[in-house]
Structure 1
Amino acid sequence: MSTPRVSLTVEQRTSLQCRLKERDGKRCFYCARNFRARPLRRKTLDHYIPHWLWPAWEVDNLVLACERCNLAKGDVLPWPLVWLLLATFRQTEWEMAA
């Protein structure tokens, strides 16, 4: 059973986008294309760690992404995060074996 998604008001969405622009700049987090250079490229709020895994609207887990990259990523964990988790798991596994 999936959790229902909470919709944000226009004011909340605008506030989050402004905070993310200040933090990350005016570029897509995934492809690094500038939103200003391509005005038709729609920017979206994306949960870096998928909403089903971390169901919160915290700025720490949100990034600005163009609609194309957001749709391509979908609802999966990004590879850099998977690699980090695997490295941490392997390291703790080796420490427990020693």
Structure 2
Amino acid sequence: MSTPRELLTEEQRAFFQCAISARDGRRCFYCRRNFRRRPMRRKTFDHYVPHRYWPGWDLDNLVLACERCNLAKADSLPWPLVWLLLATFTQDRWELTA
């Protein structure tokens, strides 16, 4: 999680966790392992697009991830998003016009 835990109240954390679980299921967004079957697997909030690029706590940008996947992703952009960005910007858009 990019922002310290103290900035979210327990009510906010519970709301986010319920809303994200209802949307994505009770699985880690990245490895798809079930949180129910492994109660010791620690759930964390992760900003799909890193917080430094998209600051805030929008539900559109939050996912549940196990601690290992969240730490492995760190502040990098997810590959599907990178591929989408690269496909969107073609070479002629990068050329400078004089």
TM interval, short-chain normalised: 0.7 to 0.9
Query: 1:19 maps to what in 2?
Result: 19
Q: Give the TM-score normalised by structure 1.
A: 0.86
Give 1:5 shift: 3.6
Q: Give the TM-score normalised by structure 2.
A: 0.86
Provide Cα deviations, 1:39-86, integer angstroms capped at 9, x if missing partner: 100001100000000001000000000000000000110111001001
Distance in structure 2 (CA, Å) of the matches to 1:61 and 1:92: 30
Give 1:91 shift: 7.3
Give 1:92 shift: 6.8
Distance in structure 1 (CA, Å) of the matches to 2:61 and 2:88: 20
What is the number of residues matched between the two proteins? 93
Provide Cα deviations, 1:13-38, integer angstroms capped at 9, x if missing partner: 11000000000000000000000111
Query: 1:81 maps to what in 2?
Result: 81
Distance in structure 2 (CA, Å) of the matches to 1:57 and 1:92: 35
User: Considering only aligned residues, what root-mean-square deviation do their CA atoms show, in Å?
Assistant: 2.2
| Identity among equivalent pairs (%) | 69
- The question of 1:43 aligning with 2:43 is answered yes
Give 1:93 shift: 2.6
